[in-house]
């Protein structure tokens, strides 16, 4: 698994990888470095996508089980990435081309917009069924983006939402056919043009300050 960065005109397209795209420490380092590169390039927007039937399966529970003494550090790193994307000083969109589970779904939620494949793949917060309560930061992130009804429907049930259901609940902003999800995500951002990073970053810090602070202080 190796995350990669490409450009569609002025829109940066960050591919999370071609497997389950779980959040290994290496993955977290790679994505952080690529986000640095996006800002340095002066892109007008950021789309994250994947080359797999998974967008991301979230936490690497196998790694965490083998390194339980580093659990607090690991959760802090994951939440740091979520906070960074939540307040990223560019317009952002997640192209959810396949399954998005747990922290992988949270990564999608951290974006400004989400486009999901309409005919295949699930968007799911399985925490209630795998006996892993949400941290305050993770709960704050999700609740900052969803209506109370959608938060209850997704956070307390472990329900797997297909694309159309996710759209109906406001979990994603749009759906697209297979092969068109990433293009639909870039098309959402392209009309926005170039935004001043300092101004947009400050606006997002105000909008999502409480959730970002909860994520950065697990």
Residues ≥6 apart with Cβ < 8 Å to 178: 117, 119, 120
DSSP assigned state of 118:
S
Residues ≥6 apart with Cβ < 8 Å to 209: none
Share of the chain above pLDDT 70, in %: 100
Q: Is the dihedral of CA 153, 118, 38, 202 positive or negative?
A: negative
Q: Which residue has the tokens 């009804």?
A: 149
Q: What share of the chain is helix, strand, coil (3-state, %, to 5)?
A: 50, 20, 30
CA distance linking residue 192 with residue 177, whole number of Å: 23
Q: What is the pLDDT of residues 49-82, one digit of tens each?
A: 999 899 999 999 999 999 999 999 999 999 999 9
Asked if residue 137 lies in contact with residue 204, where contact means CB atoms within 8 angstroms, the answer is no
Q: How high is the pLDDT of residue 143?
A: 98
CA distance linking residue 87 with residue 37, whole number of Å: 16
**205, containing H or E segment:** helix 197-207
- Residue 143 is part of a domain; what is its CATH number? 3.90.226.10
Regarding beta strands 113-117 and 174-176, do their DSSP bridges make them parallel or antiparallel, or are they unpaired?
Answer: parallel
Q: Taking 70 as the threshold, does the pLDDT of residue 92 lie above it?
A: yes
- For residue 175, CA distances in Å to 46, 128, 153, 210 come to 18, 26, 19, 29
Q: Give the closest residue to 115 by CA, choosing from 82, 163, 150, 45.
A: 163
- The structural domain count of the chain equals 1
CB atoms within 10 A of CB 201: 16
Q: Which residue has the tokens 């939402």?
A: 161
Q: Taking 70 as the threshold, does the pLDDT of residue 115 lie above it?
A: yes
CA distance linking residue 109 with residue 169, whole number of Å: 13
Range of the domain at 36: 4-216
Q: Taking 70 as the threshold, does the pLDDT of residue 193 lie above it?
A: yes
Q: Taking 70 as the threshold, does the pLDDT of residue 1 lie above it?
A: no
Compute the mean pLDDT over every residue in the chain, rounded to the nearest whole number: 96
């Amino acid at each position: 698994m190796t995350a990669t960065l490409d450009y569609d005109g002025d829109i940066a397209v960050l591919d999370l990888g071609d497997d389950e795209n779980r959040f290994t420490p290496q993955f977290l380092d790679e994505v952080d470095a690529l986000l640095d590169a996006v800002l340095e390039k002066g892109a007008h927007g950021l789309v994250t996508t994947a080359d797999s039937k998974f967008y991301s399966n979230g936490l690497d529970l196998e790694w965490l089980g083998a390194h339980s003494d580093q659990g607090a550090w690991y959760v802090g790193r994951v939440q740091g990435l979520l906070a960074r994307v939540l307040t990223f000083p560019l317009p952002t969109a997640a192209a959810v081309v396949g399954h998005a589970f747990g922290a992988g779904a949270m990564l999608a939620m951290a974006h400004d917009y989400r486009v999901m494949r309409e005919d295949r793949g699930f968007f799911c917060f399985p925490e209630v069924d795998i006996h892993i309560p949400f941290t305050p930061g993770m709960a704050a992130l999700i609740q900052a983006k969803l209506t109370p009804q959608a938060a209850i429907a997704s956070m307390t049930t472990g329900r797997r939402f297909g694309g159309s259901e996710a759209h109906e609940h406001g979990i994603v902003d749009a759906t697209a056919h297979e092969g068109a999800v990433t293009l639909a995500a870039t098309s959402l951002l392209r009309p926005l043009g170039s935004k001043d990073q300092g101004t947009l970053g400050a606006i997002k810090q105000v909008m999502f300050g409480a959730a970002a602070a909860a994520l950065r202080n697990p």
